């Protein structure tokens, strides 16, 4: 449970930094910490429930593309979060894939730091 809460915070930080880097393609409408935590929670829930199923179903495509199809799945998960939340706006699928790449990098770094500190 503690790791999930840490992942919510990591996702919130990652989406905030990504929206700062890609300010033309991704916007967060509401200022403050609460909307960021809500976005982080939704992304964490999507990544915990829907993403593994999509990865399993698209395993042949991932093998054919040498793993690059994971970038498409990350973009789709962000587009789903955009659809579910009014406070997050992603312009199109291209921005979502680029945001997925940046969020994956930021999340990996933050997970390496925060999850090791919490143990």
Residues 100-114 pLDDT 10s: 999 999 999 998 888
Work out the burial of residue 67: count CB atoms within 10 Å of its CB; fewer than 13 is exposed, 13-18 middle, 19 or more buried.
Answer: exposed
Residues 1-20 pLDDT 10s: 888 998 999 999 999 999 99
- Two tokens at 16? 């905030």
Residue 3: the pLDDT is 83
More confident residue, 31 or 85: 85
Supply the pTM of this predicted model: 0.89
What is the average pLDDT across 73-81? 95
CB proximity list for 39: less than 8 A, separation 6 or greater: 11, 12, 15, 28, 81, 85, 87, 88
CB proximity list for 72: less than 8 A, separation 6 or greater: 97
Dihedrals phi, psi of 89, to nearest 5 degrees:
-130, 125
Nearest to 47 by CA among 75, 25, 23: 75
């Amino acid at each position: 449970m503690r790791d999930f809460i840490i992942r919510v915070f990591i996702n919130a930080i990652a989406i905030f930094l990504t929206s700062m880097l890609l300010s033309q393609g991704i916007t967060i409408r509401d200022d403050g910490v609460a909307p960021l935590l809500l976005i982080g929670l939704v992304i964490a829930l999507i990544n915990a429930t829907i993403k593994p199923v999509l990865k399993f179903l698209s395993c042949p495509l991932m093998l054919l593309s040498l793993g690059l199809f994971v970038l498409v799945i990350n973009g789709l998960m962000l587009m789903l979060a955009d659809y579910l939340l009014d406070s997050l706006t992603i312009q199109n699928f291209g921005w979502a894939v680029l945001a997925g790449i940046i969020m994956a990098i930021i999340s990996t770094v933050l997970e390496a730091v925060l999850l090791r500190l919490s143990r």
